[in-house]
Structure 1
Amino acid sequence: MLQKLKQFATAMKTRLVVLYLAVRDTRTPWYVRALGLGVVAYALSPIDLIPDFIPVIGWLDDLILVPIGLWLVDRMIPDQVRLECTERAAEVGPISASKTAGVIILVLWVAAAAWLVDFVMRRF
């Protein structure tokens, strides 16, 4: 069971790299790039919809949302781009979340939350 879980995690990391490379490819349609960027940002984000410190439920978003997002965007990527990105992903290896990327994602989350609060306050 543990071995299958490790294989699943490794496959998700590889698919995440493929998605990252496909998002950066100009042959990928803009809407696929936007959705793919959202999936990559969510997967690497230190902030989740459901915080990880909540037992079991906190991990379910990572175990359900990220694979569904990867699957959905993977189906939308042009076949030739997916094949080339899969080959390049084997060379690149796994993506590590840098501190700079974490800060940028955190700033984006704070900005989105501030906008939402402002929007709600103006409505009510």
Structure 2
Amino acid sequence: MADTSNAPLAARFGADMRRGVAQLSDLGYDATYFRRMLGDHGPVEAARRLALDPVPSYGLWRLKELGRLDMSVEMWVLLPWYEPLFPPDVREQAENKLAALGIDVATELAGLVRRQTPP
């Protein structure tokens, strides 16, 4: 039997991911690959796959160019209220990828937390 205890949280994460994709489109980045991943795997699994991939995705590089790494899947995986959705190895890899791009993850994450409303 599937664990549904995190279903409402996963639904919120999915809504946040879809809203983020729409906002990225407004910035001129269509995020086609991520849209396809959302449809194929669902938001939590898509985020897990992106975070665990050791190679930064085109989308992550594009968000860096746009100065919007706060909108990256990797950053959202690190939000404290989404911690129950992602095991420690996923969160650690997401943080490592951001840090490898020269991001002060703690500072960026603190800013994102201040701007967002937890579920």
Same fold? TM cut 0.5: no
Tell me which protein shows more helix as a share of its residues.
1
Relative contact order (C-alpha < 8 Å, sep 6+): which is higher?
Answer: 1
Larger Rg: 1
